Structure 1
Amino acid sequence: MKKMNKFVCIVRPDGVSMQLKEDIQNHMLKKGWQEDLIQPELVFVIGGDGAFIHAAHEYVDVQPLYYPIQTGTLGFFAQYNREDFYAYLEALEGDYYEQILPLLETKINDEVIYGVNEIRIENVMHTQITDVLVNGHFFENLRSSGVCISTQVGSTAYNRSLGGAVIANGVEAMQMVEIAGIHNQKYQSLNVPIVFPWNTVLRFQSKDFEDAVLGADSKVVSLKGIHDIEVRYSKEKKVRVLRTNWLNPLDNLQSLF
C-alpha cells in the first residue's frame, strides 16, 4: 500500500464523537501525520452513515481512503466502533485492504452528480410518466411517483424500504425499484425490483419532469427543463474504504437487522 501521511477527521457534532476526534488527532500527530483539510489521504469519519456519505461527497474529487468509526446507534458503513478504535489502529501499519465502493453518476445542467447509496427521480405533485431504456433499448413505461436506482451498499437504504433486495457485499450490480407505481387493467409495469449488471446504462425519458426532483443521497436538484436522464456507474470516481481481514461484512449486516 502507498505510504500515507495526511489525514482529516469528519465528525458528527456530539460530545462522544468530538472527544474521539480529539483523541485521534493527538494520536496521529504524535505518529508524525499531518492534518490536511483539502487533500487528505486518509479520512476518519466519526459518526454514522450520514457523516460517511457527507464525507464521500465532500472529497469525491480527492478519492482518499476512508476510515469510518461508528459512534451512533446504527451504521452500515463502519466496521469499527469507538471502543475498538485503538485496537484497529494497527491496520494502518498495513494489515488492511481497500473495499472499493462504486458511485452512481448522472449529469444535470452540466453538473455531474454522484450517488453513494442511490439516485432517485421523485415527483410528489402528480404521477410521473417515465420511459425506461436499458443500454439504449426501450424497456418499460412507468406511471409512478418515481424510481430509485441503488448501488450494492445502497441496497440496505431507501431501496430496502421500497421492497428492493439486499445485495450481498462483493456483488457488482445496481438495482432499480419503482416508487409507488400505478397498476391497473390499463397500465402495468414489471412492478418488481430489477438487478442489473454493474456496467448497465439506464436512461429515463419524459415529456415532463417539470415538478420532479433528482435526489442523490441527501442532495436534491430540480429537473425543470430536463427530459432525459442517464444513470450509470462512474468510470472515474469511487469511494475507497479501509477494511480489515478479520471482520466479516455479513456480521455487520446481521447485527443491524
Structure 2
Amino acid sequence: MKFAITSKGDQKSNILMHKMRTYLLDFDLKYDEDQPDIVVSIGGDGTLLYAFHRYKSRLSKTAFVGIHTGHLGFYADWTPDEIEKLVIAIAKTPFQVVEYPLLEVIIRYSHAGKESRYLALNESTVKSVEGTLVMDVEIRGQHFERFRGDGLCVSTPSGSTAYNKALGGAIIHPSISAIQVAEMASINNKVFRTVGSPLILPAHHTCMLKPVNRTDFQVTVDHLTLLHKDVKSIQFRVPEEKIRFARFRPFPFWKRVHDSFISD
C-alpha cells in the first residue's frame, strides 16, 4: 500500500508526521506523495481540507484518515496517543471505505470563455465585491427568487456543521446526497422578499445563480477565496465524485455532533 501524510505545520503535528512515516515504512508500506492509496491528515479539519484539494484528482483511488492535534474534528477522529494503534490498523487491517457527497461549483462567464469547475468538501459562498449581492436564484431551471443580501452559502451534508450552521442552516447526515442553500443577511421588506429559510436540494436538483446588476463576485470554495469577473452564472449541484474516508472503527456522525456542540 502507498501512503502520504499531510501536516498542519505546527511542531506537534510535524513530530507526529515524522513518527508515523517511520512506523509505516517499518511495516514495508511505500511513501508516495503523488499516487497514495491512503492519505493521513495530521492537524484538524482544515488540514484535511487542504489534503482533499491536493488529491481531488484521485478521489476514486485515495482514501483519507485524520488525526486531530487540537480539538475534535468532524474529519479527524484519531488522537495523537493512538498513533501506534492507527499504524497497525493501516498496515494490517483492510479498512472500510465510507463515502461522503461533495459540492460541484461551475462558474460560466459572459464572454463565453472557458468555464471554471471546482469541488468543495464543506461549502462554497458567493458575495458581491461591492455592495449588496443581487442574484436571481433558479432551481431545476425555474426561477425561484431574487435574492438581495450579504451573500449565499451552499454546503455539503458533511459541511453543514461548519459555516452553514452559523447561518442557521440544518445539520444533515452525510449519508444523504444533497446540498443546502443558506442566506447571509437577506433583505426582506415590503418591496424585496426571499424565502428566508435554508433550502435542502436532493442530488438530482441544480441551483443556479444569475447576476442582476453586477458581474464581479468573491467566491469561496472551502478555504480558497477567488475573484471571478464577468460572471454569467454560478451553478451548484451534487457531483458524481465523492470523498472516501478510511474507517478502521465506528465514527458515528451524531456522536461527533454531540461532542462538538453539546458535550463539555
Fold equivalence (TM over 0.5): yes
Residue of structure 1 aligned with 2:43, choices 47, 50, 63: 47
Of 100-109 and 9-18, deviating more is 100-109
TM-score of the pair, normalised by structure 1: 0.92
Q: Percent identity between the aligned chains? A: 29
Whether 1:160 aligns to 2:165 is: yes
* Residue pair 1:7, 1:43 contacting (<8 A) in 2 also: yes
Q: Deviations over 1:139-194 (max 9, x none)?
A: 11101112111000110111011111111242222110111100001111110111
Report the equivalent of 1:175: 180
Alpha-carbon distance in structure 2 between the residues aligned to 1:234 and 1:141: 25
Q: Deviations over 1:67-124 (max 9, x none)?
A: 1111112411112111223223444333532111222112234332111101111125
TM-score of the pair, normalised by structure 2: 0.90
* Residue pair 1:205, 1:229 contacting (<8 A) in 2 also: yes
Task: Give the 3 Å change call, closer, same or farther, for CA 90–28 of structure 1 in structure 2.
Answer: closer
Q: Deviations over 1:14-70 (max 9, x none)?
A: 121111111111111111111111111110100001100000000000221111111
* Superposition map of 1:85-100 within 5 A: 85-92=83-90, 93-94=92-93, 96-100=95-99
Alpha-carbon distance in structure 2 between the residues aligned to 1:89 and 1:26: 10
* Residue pair 1:134, 1:200 contacting (<8 A) in 2 also: yes
SS in 2 for 1:125: coil
Residue of structure 2 aligned with 1:186, choices 170, 191, 215: 191
Alpha-carbon distance in structure 2 between the residues aligned to 1:232 and 1:88: 35
* Residue pair 1:95, 1:245 contacting (<8 A) in 2 also: no
SS in 2 for 1:153: coil
Task: Give the 3 Å change call, closer, same or farther, for CA 114–20 of structure 1 in structure 2.
Answer: same
Residue of structure 1 aligned with 2:75, choices 67, 74, 77: 77
Residue 239 of structure 1 deviates from its aligned partner by 1.2
* Number of residue pairs the alignment of both structures matches: 252
* Residue pair 1:120, 1:214 contacting (<8 A) in 2 also: yes
SS in 1 for 2:28: coil
Alpha-carbon distance in structure 2 between the residues aligned to 1:49 and 1:123: 27
RMSD: 1.6
* Residue pair 2:180, 2:200 contacting (<8 A) in 1 also: yes
SS in 2 for 1:148: strand
Alpha-carbon distance in structure 1 between the residues aligned to 2:73 and 2:164: 16
SS in 2 for 1:180: strand
* Superposition map of 1:47-66 within 5 A: 47-63=43-59, 64-66=62-64
Alpha-carbon distance in structure 1 between the residues aligned to 2:54 and 2:100: 15
Residue of structure 2 aligned with 1:133, choices 138, 148, 153: 138
Alpha-carbon distance in structure 2 between the residues aligned to 1:247 and 1:76: 9
- Give the aligned residue type for 2:74: F
Task: Give the 3 Å change call, closer, same or farther, for CA 23–73 of structure 1 in structure 2.
Answer: same
Gapped runs of 5+ residues in structure 1?
Answer: none
Alpha-carbon distance in structure 2 between the residues aligned to 1:100 and 1:174: 15
* Residue pair 1:144, 1:180 contacting (<8 A) in 2 also: yes
Report the equivalent of 1:248: 252
Task: Give the 3 Å change call, closer, same or farther, for CA 250–86 of structure 1 in structure 2.
Answer: farther
Report the equivalent of 2:110: none
* Residue pair 1:97, 1:244 contacting (<8 A) in 2 also: yes
* Residue pair 1:66, 1:242 contacting (<8 A) in 2 also: yes
Report the equivalent of 1:107: 106
Alpha-carbon distance in structure 2 between the residues aligned to 1:246 and 1:157: 22
